[in-house]
Each structure stands twice: as C-alpha cells, then as structure tokens.
Amino acid sequence: MADSAEIEWLAEEEALTPFRVFRSFDYSVSLLFHARELAYYVALYQNGTLWRALKAADLDAAEAAFHHFEEQATRLSEGETRRAQLAAQNEQLARMIAESEAQAERLRCDLQRNTVQEQAVSGRMHQVRKEVAQLEAQRVAAQAQLNKAHRQIHQLNLTSNEGVPHLPGR
C-alpha cells in the first residue's frame, strides 16, 4: 500500500510521470513513475479522488497492480456501462415511438381525407345523376313539344295547300 498523502503531494509537485492511464466512467487507474526514487505508484481514483494506491519497486509488479486495478475499475463501472446503454436504447425507442405515432397520425389524416373526398365524390356523382335525369326529362319533353310543333306545321301546311290548285308538272 502507498500513502495517499504522499502521492497527492508528488502529483502537486509534478514529480510523477504517467506511464499508463485507464478510465471507465467515474473510475480511473494510473501507473505513475517517480524518477527520483525509482518507484512506481498505481492509483485508483473514483470521481477524481484518490481511493486506493500501491507502491512498487519494479515495473513488472506495478504493471500487475495496474491490471488488477483496471479490472476492478471495469467491474465497478459495469452498472454505469449498462445504464448508459439502456438510456441510449430508451432514447432510441422513444424516437422510434414518436416517429411511429407521427406516421400513424399522418395515415389517420390520409384516411380521413380519403373518406371525406369519397363522400364528396359520391355526393357529386349523385347530384350529377339527378341533373342528368332532369335534363333527360327536359329533353324528352322538348322533343315531344318539337314533334307536336312539326305535326302542327305539317297540318297547317296541308290545310293551307287545300285551297291551292295543283299545277301539272311539265
């Protein structure tokens, strides 16, 4: 174990050289080298605050401690990882729901517009059929009246021609 106050003081004095740094959400692990003492420090931080620290005399022992803390930080941040994934999935689902609801609303509007239009077309067709029937009845009555007028003209011509002698043809 290393003295946390010593590591913090060395960091303030900028006496530590970072060899490796691992970060996962609020957790970070640093492998630090103190050249003056030829010592290695491995520090585990939570939210920027030093939590645990180890001191090693050689790089192999420091690397092993770094990997141990790295695995620990990874395990500790698994909940954060899952939370971030679920939050992103929920946001995506919310967008998909909103898009689906908007599409459904557009389809409802289209169906409503089509229904209104079909009713208007049906009403117009009914009106046109009614007008066609009226016009046909008027045409039949007018044709009958024309035929009657032609018969009268023919009758009047016959009556008018009775008093006129017929001339023999040449």
pLDDT digit string, tens, across residues 15-51 = 999 999 999 999 999 999 999 999 999 999 999 999 9
The rounded mean pLDDT for the chain is 94
pTM: 0.60
How much is the average pLDDT of 90-112? 97
Is the same domain home to 21 and 70?
yes
* Residue 11 within any structural domain of the chain: yes
Is the same domain home to 62 and 99?
no
* Residue 95 within any structural domain of the chain: yes
How much is the average pLDDT of 94-110? 97
Is the same domain home to 18 and 61?
yes
How far apart are alpha carbons 67 and 83 in whole angstroms? 24
How far apart are alpha carbons 15 and 27 in whole angstroms? 23
Q: Is 74 exposed, middle or buried (0-12, 13-18, 19+ CB in 10 A)?
A: middle
Is the same domain home to 20 and 70?
yes
**Is the model's pLDDT at 86 over the cut of 70?**
yes
Q: 123-154: per-residue pLDDT in tens?
A: 999 999 999 999 999 999 999 999 999 999 99
